[in-house]
C-alpha cells in the first residue's frame, strides 16, 4: 500500500459538503445537496443528488455550475422545487422526479429567499425582499434608472444600516408572495415595514403560520411574534410566545399541534434554545426541553460544512418527533413525544448537521461529519438503531491522506469547572522528538468545537504541530450556566480555562516543546489571542484573525456593536472604563509576542479598523508584527470565502508559525 500523504491547504478542493436530505412523501426516495469548490472559477458549486431506498444507491440529478438550495417535495411526490442561482439571482425552480428540464416559476428582481409548497401542491409560497420605497411612481423610477450609474450619497437613519456579508443595507422588508402553478399568477399576501417569514401550513391548506418582527423601532427590536394567517379572511391571529425568536415551527400531520423552537431573552444571545409544544385546540403551550439543559440546534464551529440546513424538529407521527441537540461537544439526534418523553435516538462522537425522518418507514437520513471524515450521508433504521453509511464521496481522498484522530480531553479549571476539548498529535509523530504546539480558539463566543472534521486543525497537524482546541466557558453544548459565564467577564475565567488547558497538556506530554508554543483564533478567538499576548509571554508566536482589540470603537463600527457590547461586556457606551478594561489594546505595552494580524476588508462584524489600531500600536512600539489584509472577504472568509483567499489565509498562518516555532 502506498504511503499516505499529509494534509495540504489545497485539499479543500477534495472535500465536498453533503447537506439537507429530504424524504419524498412515501419515503421511497430522497434528495440531498452536494457542494464543492470550483478551482477554475474560484467559487462554490452545488448540485442535487438522488437516493433510492430500495437499492440504497445515489446519483446526481443536476450538473450545473451554480448553487442550489431549498429542496422541497410536492405533496404528491411527483415533483419537487428548489432554489437556484442559474440565472444569477436565486429563483424558484420546479422539476419532475421523472427527469426533464427544471422550470423557473419566479422572476423576482432581488431573488427569492425561500419557498414551500401549499398542502395541495397547486401553489408555492415564497419570500422576497422589497425596498422601503418600492411604490414610487413611474416617473420617479424612470429618473432613478437614468441616473443609476451616477454616484449617490447614502442617507442613513437607522443603526442597523449595514450587515456583514451584505454591506450597506437598502432599507428593505421581507414580503410573502403566493404563486398559482396553474396560471402562474402571483399574489402578495403579507407586506409592510416588517419582515415576514412563513414557517408551515395547516394540512388542509386554509391557513399557515408565520413570524414577524412587527412595524416597530427595528434598531431595538430583538423579537419575532408568531401568527396564524387565514387565507379566506386574510386575517392574522397572534399566538402568545415569550419575547425572543421563534423558529423551526412544524405542524403535526393531523393539524392539531405545533412544535417550535424558542430563544428567549433571559441571557440575551447566550440563552438556550428550547423546544415547545402548542395545542391548537386548547392553546396550552409547554416547554419540552426544560430539564435538558442543552440547546436545541447546531452551534458547532467548523470550516467544511457548506450550505448546512438543519431542521429543528421533524414529526414522525401525531405523537412522535425528532430534533437535534448540541450536547457535550457533539450534535446528536433526540427522540421526543407529546407526552413529554425525551431521550437520545442517535448519540455518538459526531456532528449531525442535517436530517429528515420518515415515520411510516421508521427511517432517518442524516448528514454527518466526524473528526476523521468530512461529510457523508447516512441512513438510520430507527427501531434497531443501525446506522449505515450511504455515500462515500471522500473514500478515495481519505485512503490517500493521513488524517489525525483528535483525542478527547477534559480537565479542571477555575471554580472547579470541567472544561472539555481535543488534542492532536502531529501527523507522523515519532517517539523521542520534541514538537511545537498551537492553541486554536473558536469564535462566538457562544459557539463550540465539536467532534467534527476540521481541515484547518488537520493542516496544522500535518505541518508538524501538536494542536490543542478547547471549549472555554461561554461555549455552547454544556449547560446554561456555562454558556452564560463569559458575559461581563471577558478575559478572566475564559482566559484561565484556555491557559489551564495548556498546563494540562504540557504537563501530560513532555515531548511538547514549551519554548515553541503558538496561539491563534478568529473573531472572539481573535479577541482572546490579542488578550493572551497582552497578559503572558508564554507563546512565542501568535496569529490573530478578524479580531476585536478595542471595545470602545467596536461599539460604533460593528454591525452588531451597539447591542453586542451591552450584552457581552455588559457595559454601555458611557462606561468607558469597563469597555477599556476588557479591550486587548489597553495592554499593548505588555505585548511582546510576534503577532501576525489577519483581517478582511469587507468584515462588518469585526471591522478592519480593529486590526488597524492594533497594528499601528504595535509598530509604534517597534514590536514584531505583520498585517495581512484580505480583499473581497467578509467575516466568514475561513468558512465561505473565495477559495483562493482561503488558501492564502491558511498559508499565511502556517508560514508565520513556521518562521517562529520551527
- What amino acid positions are annotated as catalytic residues? 523, 635
Q: Is 533 left (phi over 0), alpha (psi -120 to 50) or beta?
A: alpha
Q: Are 301 and 316 in contact (CB under 8 A)?
A: no
The rounded distance, in Å, linking the Cα atoms of 9 and 191 is 46
Neighbours of 104 (CB within 10 A): 13
N-terminal to C-terminal alpha carbon distance within the chain: 31
The rounded distance, in Å, linking the Cα atoms of 71 and 79 is 11
The rounded distance, in Å, linking the Cα atoms of 229 and 178 is 13
Q: Give 599-625 as a DSSP string.
A: EETT-SSS-THHHHHHHHHHHHTT-SE
The rounded distance, in Å, linking the Cα atoms of 365 and 432 is 45
Sheet order of strands, 595-600 included: 407-412, 418-424, 466-471, 435-441, 512-522, 541-545, 595-600, 625-630
Q: Are 335 and 355 in contact (CB under 8 A)?
A: no
Nearest to 324 by CA among 302, 344, 301: 344
The rounded distance, in Å, linking the Cα atoms of 193 and 171 is 9
The rounded distance, in Å, linking the Cα atoms of 299 and 73 is 27
Greatest distance between any 2 Cα atoms in the chain: 80
- Any residues with CB less than 8 A from the CB of 21 and at least 6 apart, and which? 30, 31, 32, 51, 354, 355, 356, 365, 366, 367, 377
The rounded distance, in Å, linking the Cα atoms of 107 and 157 is 31
Nearest to 304 by CA among 394, 191, 382: 394
| Secondary structure of 201-212 as H, E, C letters | ECCCCCEEEEEE
**Which residue in this structure is represented by grid cell 402553478?**
181
User: Residue 46 has which C-alpha cell?
Assistant: 452545488
Nearest to 369 by CA among 355, 383, 348, 352: 352
**Which residue in this structure is represented by grid cell 476539548?**
421
The rounded distance, in Å, linking the Cα atoms of 369 and 351 is 5
| Secondary structure of 484-541 as H, E, C letters | HCCCCCCCCHHHHHHHHHHHHHHHHCCCEEEEEEEEEEECHHHHHHHHHHCCCCCCCE
Cβ-based burial of 415 (10 A; exposed 0-12, middle 13-18, buried ≥19): exposed
The rounded distance, in Å, linking the Cα atoms of 603 and 559 is 9
- Any residues with CB less than 8 A from the CB of 455 and at least 6 apart, and which? 7, 11, 12, 15, 303, 304, 374
Amino acid at each position: 500500500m502506498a504511503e499516505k500523504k499529509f494534509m495540504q491547504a489545497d485539499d479543500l478542493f477534495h472535500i465536498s459538503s453533503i447537506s439537507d436530505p429530504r424524504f419524498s412523501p412515501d419515503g421511497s426516495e430522497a434528495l440531498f445537496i452536494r457542494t464543492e469548490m470550483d478551482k477554475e472559477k474560484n467559487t462554490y458549486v452545488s448540485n442535487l443528488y438522488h437516493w433510492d431506498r430500495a437499492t440504497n444507491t445515489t446519483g446526481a440529478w443536476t450538473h450545473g455550475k451554480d448553487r442550489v438550495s431549498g429542496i422541497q417535495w410536492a405533496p404528491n411526490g411527483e415533483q419537487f422545487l428548489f432554489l437556484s442561482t442559474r440565472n444569477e439571482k436565486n429563483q424558484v425552480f420546479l422539476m419532475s422526479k421523472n427527469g426533464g428540464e427544471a422550470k423557473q416559476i419566479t422572476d423576482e428582481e432581488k431573488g427569492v429567499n425561500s419557498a414551500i409548497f401549499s398542502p395541495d401542491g397547486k401553489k408555492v409560497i415564497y419570500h422576497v425582499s422589497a425596498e422601503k420605497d418600492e411604490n414610487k411612481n413611474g416617473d420617479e423610477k424612470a429618473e432613478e434608472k437614468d441616473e443609476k450609474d451616477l454616484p449617490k450619497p447614502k442617507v442613513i437613519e437607522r443603526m442597523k444600516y449595514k450587515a456583514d456579508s451584505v454591506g450597506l443595507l437598502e432599507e428593505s422588508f421581507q414580503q410573502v408572495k403566493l404563486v398559482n402553478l396553474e396560471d402562474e399568477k402571483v399574489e402578495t399576501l403579507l407586506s409592510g415595514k416588517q419582515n415576514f417569514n412563513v414557517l408551515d401550513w395547516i394540512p388542509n391548506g386554509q391557513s399557515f403560520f408565520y413570524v414577524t418582527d412587527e412595524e416597530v423601532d427595528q434598531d431595538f427590536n430583538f423579537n419575532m411574534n408568531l401568527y396564524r394567517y387565514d387565507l379566506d379572511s386574510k386575517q392574522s391571529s397572534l399566538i402568545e410566545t415569550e419575547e425572543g425568536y421563534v423558529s423551526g415551527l412544524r405542524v403535526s400531520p393531523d393539524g392539531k399541534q405545533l412544535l417550535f423552537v424558542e430563544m428567549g431573552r433571559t441571557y440575551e444571545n447566550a440563552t438556550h434554545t428550547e423546544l415547545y409544544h402548542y395545542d391548537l385546540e386548547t392553546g396550552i403551550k409547554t416547554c419540552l426541553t426544560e430539564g435538558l439543559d442543552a440547546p436545541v440546534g447546531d452551534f458547532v464551529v467548523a470550516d467544511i460544512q457548506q450550505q448546512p440546513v438543519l431542521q429543528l424538529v421533524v414529526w414522525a407521527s401525531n405523537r412522535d418527533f425528532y430534533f437535534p441537540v448540541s450536547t457535550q461537544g457533539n450534535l446528536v439526534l433526540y427522540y421526543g413525544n407529546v407526552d413529554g418523553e425525551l431521550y437520545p435516538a442517535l448519540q455518538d462522537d459526531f456532528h449531525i448537521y442535517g436530517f429528515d425522518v420518515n415515520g411510516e418507514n421508521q427511517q432517518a437520513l442524516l448528514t454527518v461529519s466526524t473528526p476523521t471524515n468530512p461529510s457523508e450521508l447516512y441512513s438510520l433504521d430507527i427501531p434497531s438503531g443501525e446506522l449505515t453509511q450511504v455515500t462515500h464521496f471522500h473514500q478515495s481522498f481519505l485512503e490517500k491522506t493521513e488524517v489525525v484522530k483528535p483525542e478527547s480531553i477534559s480537565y479542571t479549571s477555575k471554580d472547579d469547572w470541567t472544561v472539555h476539548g481535543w488534542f492532536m498529535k502531529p501527523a507522523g509523530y515519532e517517539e523521542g522528538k520534541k514538537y511545537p504546539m498551537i492553541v486554536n480558539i473558536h469564535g462566538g463566543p457562544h459557539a463550540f468545537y465539536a467532534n467534527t472534521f476540521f481541515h484547518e486543525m488537520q493542516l496544522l497537524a500535518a505541518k508538524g504541530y501538536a494542536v490543542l482546541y478547547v471549549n472555554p466557558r461561554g461555549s455552547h453544548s454544556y449547560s446554561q450556566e456555562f454558556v452564560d459565564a463569559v458575559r461581563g467577564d471577558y478575559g478572566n475565567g475564559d482566559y484561565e480555562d484556555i491557559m489551564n488547558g495548556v498546563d494540562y497538556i504540557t504537563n501530560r506530554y513532555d515531548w511538547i516543546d514549551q519554548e515553541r508554543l503558538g496561539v491563534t483564533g478568529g473573531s472572539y478567538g481573535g479577541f482572546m489571542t490579542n488578550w493572551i499576548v497582552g497578559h503572558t509571554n508564554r507563546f512565542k508566536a501568535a496569529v490573530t484573525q478578524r479580531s476585536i482589540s478595542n471595545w470602545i470603537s467596536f461599539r460604533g463600527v460593528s454591525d452588531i456593536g451597539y447591542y453586542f457590547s451591552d450584552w457581552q461586556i455588559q457595559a454601555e457606551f458611557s462606561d468607558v472604563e469597563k469597555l477599556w478594561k476588557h479591550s486587548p489594546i489597553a495592554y499593548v505595552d505588555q505585548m511582546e509576542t510576534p503577532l501576525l494580524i489577519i483581517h478582511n476588508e469587507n468584515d462588518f462584524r469585526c471591522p478592519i479598523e480593529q486590526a488597524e489600531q492594533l497594528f499601528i500600536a504595535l509598530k509604534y512600539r517597534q514590536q514584531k508584527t505583520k498585517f495581512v489584509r484580505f480583499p473581497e472577504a467578509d467575516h466568514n472568509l475561513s468558512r465561505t470565502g473565495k477559495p483562493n483567499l482561503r488558501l492564502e489565509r491558511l498559508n499565511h498562518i502556517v508560514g508565520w508559525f513556521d518562521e517562529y516555532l520551527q
